[in-house]
Amino acid sequence: MTFDIIRKAAAPAQDPQSAAPPDWDALIEGLPQGRINIAHEALDRHLAAGHGAQTALRWLSKDTGQHDITYAALAGMSSRLANVLCAHGLVPGDRVFGLLGRQPALYATALGTLKAGMIFTPLFSAFGPEPILTRMQIADCTALVTTAAIYTRKIAPLRDQVPGLKLVLVTDDDAPEGCVALGPALEAASAEFTTFPADPETPALIHFTSGTTGRPKGAVHVHGAVRYHAFSGRHALGLEPGTVYWCTADPGWVTGTSYGIIAPLVNRAVTIVDEAEFDLERWYQTIASQKVAVWYSAPTAIRMMMRAGEDAARGHDFSSLRFLASVGEPLNPEAVVWSHKVFGKPFHDNWWQTETGGIMIANTAAMDIKPGSMGKPLPGIVAGIVETADGTVTELGTGQIGELALRPGWPSMMRAYLHEEARYAKAFRDGWYLSGDLAMRDEDGYYWFVGRADDLIKSSGHLIGPFEVESALIEHDAVAEAAVIGLPDDTAGEVVKAFVTLNPGFDPSEALERDIRGHARKRLGAAVAPRAVVFRNTLPKTRSGKIMRRLLKARELGLPEGDISTLETDET
């Protein structure tokens, strides 16, 4: 099956690679004397410009329904939080962890921490004690904001292993021993706080990578990154003052901060904050009733929507949507076409990493969409497809598969992997940042994801990207999700093995296995199609929704599982 290009009405030709880099500074206000602070851009400057009464967050609480929080109210909460941190002896540069669900306290914690010149680190609140502890130790955590339940279950037993931890704030009024109740502390604190005038290079955020390919890395980001959050929020996500915007990313992941907190606030959008976990009917209803203009989600969520079928979406008015956007994993062309049919608007896939801090390659409102492509580099981002040999990096031409690389220089690039200088240095060579992903650029300048460098399969002289095979598999009516790996083979070098989950109404059987393999053979040819298809109830995924192919492979080969601290689902 081939997928038609989705043509945008009056899409202007866009050739970002040859465009001059944008004036990043022109998008933000900055503080006097070249100083900068993410919280100033997100809050203070809107108040100064008279927009304090505009809604910043529309919180959809699980228990108490809708609450609108203005920019002025959020700024007040954040200043109070900053005052509480300082009152407990914390100083600029200290590390404040947020272990919270989607709620206003999360926003106040992130922004109050930044306001005070301290470093914010979010974690998945569903993490177990061990991954929390290691990350707190790596970043030498000084303060933590969480719930009483999480503290009691996961932190209290291990607290003495984080000697630097001075303050634990809990969102419940009934604080466990050794903790301070956040609500009363905020109430008692002043709502005035002078935002810390940071240098653009002052560390602001530490984000841990998803751990899809191995041990997670702590990527350090600086206050100057906000220039890129502002720019990319506008350019790739169309965020403008008043835009009703909803990002479903878990707050524990970089997307939850860059595009769940910073970019929408800096661009003065109205951010929907839905406390509830994935619930299809609630999601459709929320998009329709809140008149969401831009919805930012991930391929796993989209595939769940597809699995539930078109009927579930019927009867909702999606006319407010300008487009939908997706990040985190390759977005199968099937999903783009499906969303175009169901929502009347396509999904804009975009590519970036914890390390890049912001969206690098995207389909934007100004572009025709080629389903299955990640789109084009944003203006100011210079990307290349490269091959590395003996320390030299050579750019490859159109249509060739190689490693996706970027020319460093945009404001939100990581400045370090925490305590891992060698690992950081290895990511840069010959003036390029090497992403570890494989991709291809076509004659129109669109980039196509092939797979992780580690996941590439070499079979009988063919280079096989898992994404292509997985996309072909999910075109089969029975297949909901797919993961493929390469296994050693005496004659072919490697052969492809697939793991799939099924759509409702289909049951595992030998006949179905044969049928799926037959379909893949027809689509991909015998050399590339999987030799075996295994049925699973779920695929192993990280908490940010990424399929852990390395885990499937390690198990097949009887090798150690490696770091699985971020593993979320896993059922055979």
Find the DSSP H helices in 273-374: 280-289, 299-308, 333-343
Nearest to 380, CA basis, from 352, 401, 361, 399: 361
* DSSP H or E run through 82: helix 71-87
- According to the binding rule CB under 6 A, does residue 350 interact with ligand ATP? yes
Whole-number Å distance between alpha carbons of 483 and 542: 13
The residue (of 209 and 332) whose beta carbon lies closer to Mg ion is: 209
Q: What is the DSSP string of 179-230?
A: -EEHHHHHHHS-S--PPP-B-TTSEEEEEE---SSSS--EEEEEGGGHHHHH
- Region from 18-26, 114-122, 325-333, 409-417 binding ligand ATP, contact rule CB under 6 A: 325-333
Least Cβ distance, residue 213 to Mg ion (angstroms): 6
Strand pairing report for 402-406 and 383-389: antiparallel
* DSSP H or E run through 472: helix 466-474
Q: Which of residues 425-464 bind ligand ATP (CB under 6 A)?
A: 435, 437, 449, 452
Residue 339 makes CB contacts below 8 A (sequence gap 6+) with 302, 324, 345, 346, 347
Least Cβ distance, residue 278 to ligand ATP (angstroms): 18
- Region from 7-15, 45-53, 107-115, 346-354 binding ligand ATP, contact rule CB under 6 A: 346-354
- Region from 193-201, 203-211, 252-260, 514-522 binding Mg ion, contact rule CB under 5 A: 203-211
- According to the binding rule CB under 6 A, does residue 406 interact with ligand ATP? no
- Region from 83-91, 138-146, 328-336, 533-541 binding ligand ATP, contact rule CB under 6 A: 328-336
Whole-number Å distance between alpha carbons of 333 and 374: 10
Q: Among residues 209, 300, 339, 412, which is the contact residue for ligand ATP, using CB under 6 A?
A: 209
* Contact indicator for 567, 127 with CB cutoff of 8 Å: no
The residue (of 172 and 563) whose beta carbon lies closer to ligand ATP is: 563
- According to the binding rule CB under 6 A, does residue 328 interact with ligand ATP? yes
First to last CA, the chain: 30
Q: Which of residues 206-245 bind Mg ion (CB under 5 A)?
A: 209
- According to the binding rule CB under 6 A, does residue 565 interact with ligand ATP? no
Query: Which partner, ligand ATP, Mg ion, none, binds residue 179 by CB below 5 to 8 Å per kind?
Result: none
- According to the binding rule CB under 6 A, does residue 243 interact with ligand ATP? no
Neighbours of 163 (CB within 10 A): 9
- Region from 321-329, 413-421, 484-492, 501-509 binding ligand ATP, contact rule CB under 6 A: 321-329
- Region from 205-213, 225-233, 287-295, 306-314 binding ligand ATP, contact rule CB under 6 A: 205-213
Q: Pattern of binders to Mg ion over 152-191, x per CB under 5 A? A: ----------------------------------------
Q: How far is CA 117 from CA 110, 120, 196, 227, 421, in A?
A: 11, 9, 5, 17, 24
* Contact indicator for 58, 273 with CB cutoff of 8 Å: yes
Query: Which partner, ligand ATP, Mg ion, none, binds residue 327 by CB below 5 to 8 Å per kind?
Result: ligand ATP
Q: What are phi and psi of 93, to 5 degrees?
A: 100, -20
- According to the binding rule CB under 6 A, does residue 113 interact with ligand ATP? no
Whole-number Å distance between alpha carbons of 368 and 390: 39
Query: Which partner, Mg ion, ligand ATP, none, binds residue 350 by CB below 5 to 8 Å per kind?
Result: ligand ATP
Q: Residue 338's Cα: distance from chain center in Å?
A: 22
Residue 287 makes CB contacts below 8 A (sequence gap 6+) with 246, 295, 316, 318, 320, 321
Q: Among residues 34, 92, 157, 214, which is the contact residue for ligand ATP, using CB under 6 A?
A: 214
Nearest to 411, CA basis, from 447, 366, 378, 445: 378
Neighbours of 425 (CB within 10 A): 10
The residue (of 30 and 375) whose beta carbon lies closer to ligand ATP is: 375
- Region from 185-193, 345-353, 417-425, 492-500 binding ligand ATP, contact rule CB under 6 A: 345-353
The residue (of 54 and 388) whose beta carbon lies closer to ligand ATP is: 388
Residues at the interface with ligand ATP (CB under 6 A): 209-214, 216, 327-331, 349-351, 353-354, 374, 435, 437, 449, 452, 544, 546
Binding site for Mg ion (CB under 5 A): 209
